[in-house]
Structure 1
Amino acid sequence: MKIPLAWLQLKHQKTRLLVAIAGISFSVILMFMQLGFQSALFDSAVLLHKSLNGDIFLLSPRSTALIAMKSFSERRLYQALGDKNVEFITPIYLGFAQWKNPANPLKWRNIHIIGFDTEYSVFNLPGVEQNMDKLKEPDVVLFDLASRPEFGPVVNLFQSQTSLLTEIDNMSNATRKIEVVGLFKLGTTFGIDGNLITSHLNFLRIFSQRKKGLIEVGVIKLKSGNPANIKQKLQQYLPNDVQIFTKEEWIKFEKQYWMTSTAIGFIFSLGVAMGLIVGIVVVYQILYTDVANHLKEYATLTTMGYRHRYFLTVVFQESLILACLGYIPGFLIASGLYKIAHQTTLLPIAMTQQRTWFVFY
């Protein structure tokens, strides 16, 4: 029976072992948190994109992200009907306005408003389909129950009253009274604290300063055909005053903006890199110190005939033991911090299987 030298060396000095485990756990937590924040940035940015029931999307060439959309003529969307593979088209209107807190009329906060044609089921979101008929009424909206709490106790007030009145300021020339007639769930992003969904007619009533015939997103639903092939056909006869994306390309386009064109994207990417470097340095330093402290023992074993390969195996076993002992508490603490961060920020921060294995290896 072989003596488990690696484990005996580690547990010989229990205090040093606990310090080593704590150091590795800290590195694990650091890597998990940095990866979680970066993932939340990208995942939250494309929540709306993923919820849309469409295959191809038209955008203005001046649009860079969901928080920086520019309008284009809806005529381009209607031109897409010329393809026989198109099932339906529908415009999406996007804009920011100020929402008056119904519980504190002195507090106003920017909110993201989404308008769409209620003739089509465009959103795969809980609560939208059930309230489609209500949205056909004038001056009504659906409120995102995953919005920031700074908008007021909207969900509680609505559930106790079944309707809720407040005001919207289009930040240009008008304030309009609206009624919350339902709830849906989308979620916040790093640039959007809350959302409203309404019909395209109500959207244009709120943003009365807008020119008619201008939209932010054109949704094209296909009844057959490959979206990439249909996109190429559309590019041949649509003018270059619109961008054409498949769903996957639009999601990638949005993530690329947050990754390369924003300070927060750079900071999170740098944080991930620094977390990995710190983790590597901490583990290396722990192993280096342990080997240095046992050089005399290794020299004795060498004179007894043990080869260099044996000592490499011992060091590898020590690193594996330390990794496992440090990973478990780090994983558990990071999972708890994920839940706290999600509850506090309402961002999609959650432990994933892919991230679990990535940090472990």
Structure 2
Amino acid sequence: MNSIAWFYFPARLAWRQLIFDRTKLIAATSGVLFACVLVFMQLGFRDSLYASAASAPTKLSGDLFLMHKQSEAMWRPVQFKRSELMRALGNPAVAEVYPLYLALAPFKNIETQVKRTLMVYGLDPDSMLFDLEGLKIRQIELRLKDTVLFDEFSRPEFGLIGHLLEVGRDVTEINDYKVRILGLFRMGVSFAADGNVITSDLNFMRIFPSRNLNDIDLGVIRLCPGVSAKQVQSELDDRLNEFVNIFTYDELLQYEKDYWANTAPIGFIFGFGTVMGLVVGLVIVYQILFTDIANHRNEFATLKAMGYEHGYFVRVVFASAFFLAILGFIPGYIFSVGLYQLAESQIFMPMPMTLSKVMTVFMFILSMCATAGLLAIRKLKSANPADMF
């Protein structure tokens, strides 16, 4: 019974104080709601950024990957010699090696003739470097001259390519070079590119006449079954030149995410926005709790004179902070779910509302309110019973 009273009575007093002034309660709840929505959206955009950054790497079919050390990310590659990739074949554990060519180029909308930049991937059609159903179906046809495959998950500004292919309109230009679209595949857009195209390595050279087959952007290595990728990575690191990075599959994904998180300004922006949301919410909740304590200073002094200890009032303040966190989080979560759906429809990138994200944001909001309560508690010390007389 004592343990129940230790929690129940301070919480009941805190709740009555909050609902006594509905205007202040609405203001405090709105502040928490605003912070909650802002944190949800910043984390959502950040996770969407990381997911889109890995949209291409996750579809790659390989065990080890070579990239120039000056390459900041796959979409900003620095070429290196194809011979460096061929040297990897000297290791008996290496089964196959394939080069991958990447470049950004303007794509002409078939209907509007407006150009928009997308990412072009050039590869050996027999290599199946990407685990994509559309690529498997069109593997043989992709060997034909001036043919490409289009990512149907690209932004709609490129045109309704699926519909146009059905009516026989399949000719367009990439980098001012005329090509024919054979079919579609599904990869997804990213913050670096609004669309994607896959073509053969020879067609890639025709689209980009300044490039040559000996300068590659990414090397893909497939190992023999049962071989340790880490062991081969260590062996190749000693064999290959020092200007080449050798990544495992997981390391390549992490390298792409690290670029957006640490190198690209947008990663900092999302992190800074999350912090600012918490700071704004903390200030609002602190002001409400501080004002509430100041307005009831005489009442607190009376309770102290009656024998209530300082710890009782501390529990009252923290209970108020907890109630505000709950009252602000629930509508903030519901509002954020709707905003996530709206954002997905506009940016064409996934923004899942995962359970771990919900729990993370709730802990952020709860910590924010608790910190505000901790700062406001110092006002309780001035509630002296002697001031009543």
- Residues 85 and 224 of structure 1 are in contact (CA less than 8 Å); yes or no, is this contact kept in structure 2? no
The secondary structure found in structure 2 opposite 1:128 is helix
- Residues 34 and 275 of structure 1 are in contact (CA less than 8 Å); yes or no, is this contact kept in structure 2? no
Amino acid at match of 1:263: P
- Which position in structure 1 is the counterpart of 2:128? 121
- Which position in structure 2 is the counterpart of 1:22? 30
1:90 is aligned to 2:98: yes
The secondary structure found in structure 2 opposite 1:114 is strand
Amino acid at match of 1:359: V
- Which position in structure 1 is the counterpart of 2:278? 276
CA-to-aligned-CA distance 1:250-273 (integer Å, 9 cap, x gap) = 223223322333332332232222
1:42 is aligned to 2:44: no
* Structure number with larger C-alpha Rg: 2
- Which position in structure 2 is the counterpart of 1:155? 162
Are the structure 2 counterparts of residues 224 and 74 from structure 1 closer, same or farther at C-alpha, using a change threshold of 3 Å?
farther
CA-to-aligned-CA distance 1:61-86 (integer Å, 9 cap, x gap) = 33122221121111221221222322
Q: CA offset at residue 232 of structure 1?
A: 1.0
> Where in structure 2 are the equivalents of 1:124-203 lying within 5 Å?
124-158=131-165, 160-161=166-167, 164-169=170-175, 175-203=176-204
The secondary structure found in structure 2 opposite 1:240 is coil
- Which position in structure 2 is the counterpart of 1:320? 322
> Which whole-Å CA distance do the structure 2 matches of 1:162 and 1:228 have between them?
48
> Which whole-Å CA distance do the structure 2 matches of 1:128 and 1:329 have between them?
44
- Which position in structure 1 is the counterpart of 2:118? 111
Q: CA offset at residue 217 of structure 1?
A: 0.5
Q: CA offset at residue 97 of structure 1?
A: 1.9
- Which position in structure 1 is the counterpart of 2:378? none
Structure 2 residue runs of 5 or longer lacking an equivalent are 364-389
> Which whole-Å CA distance do the structure 1 matches of 2:337 and 2:178 have between them?
43
User: Higher mean Cα deviation, 22-31 or 134-143?
Assistant: 134-143
- Residues 86 and 224 of structure 1 are in contact (CA less than 8 Å); yes or no, is this contact kept in structure 2? no
Are the structure 2 counterparts of residues 276 and 86 from structure 1 closer, same or farther at C-alpha, using a change threshold of 3 Å?
farther
Q: CA offset at residue 112 of structure 1?
A: 0.9
- Which position in structure 1 is the counterpart of 2:309? 307
Q: CA offset at residue 93 of structure 1?
A: 0.9
Amino acid at match of 1:180: I
- Residues 55 and 219 of structure 1 are in contact (CA less than 8 Å); yes or no, is this contact kept in structure 2? yes
- Which position in structure 1 is the counterpart of 2:387? none
Taking only the aligned residue pairs, the percentage that are identical comes to 42
- Residues 75 and 102 of structure 2 are in contact (CA less than 8 Å); yes or no, is this contact kept in structure 1? no
Q: CA offset at residue 52 of structure 1?
A: 0.8
> Which whole-Å CA distance do the structure 2 matches of 1:299 and 1:162 have between them?
83
The secondary structure found in structure 2 opposite 1:127 is helix
1:285 is aligned to 2:299: no
User: Higher mean Cα deviation, 266-275 or 52-61?
Assistant: 266-275
CA-to-aligned-CA distance 1:161-213 (integer Å, 9 cap, x gap) = 266111222xxxxx432111211122222221111012222222322331222
Structure 1 residue runs of 5 or longer lacking an equivalent are 170-174
- Which position in structure 2 is the counterpart of 1:341? 343
> Which whole-Å CA distance do the structure 2 matches of 1:83 and 1:35 have between them?
43
1:224 is aligned to 2:223: no
- Which position in structure 2 is the counterpart of 1:11? 19
> Which whole-Å CA distance do the structure 2 matches of 1:125 and 1:325 have between them?
46
> Which whole-Å CA distance do the structure 2 matches of 1:76 and 1:193 have between them?
31
Match of 2:83 among 68, 75, 80: 75
Amino acid at match of 1:42: Y
Are the structure 2 counterparts of residues 97 and 304 from structure 1 closer, same or farther at C-alpha, using a change threshold of 3 Å?
same
CA-to-aligned-CA distance 1:205-226 (integer Å, 9 cap, x gap) = 3223312222111011222333
CA-to-aligned-CA distance 1:324-361 (integer Å, 9 cap, x gap) = 11001111111211111121111333322222111101
The secondary structure found in structure 1 opposite 2:134 is coil
The secondary structure found in structure 2 opposite 1:47 is coil
The secondary structure found in structure 2 opposite 1:97 is strand
> Which whole-Å CA distance do the structure 1 matches of 2:282 and 2:135 have between them?
47
Higher helix share: 2
Q: TM-score, normalised by structure 2?
A: 0.85
- Which position in structure 2 is the counterpart of 1:215? 216
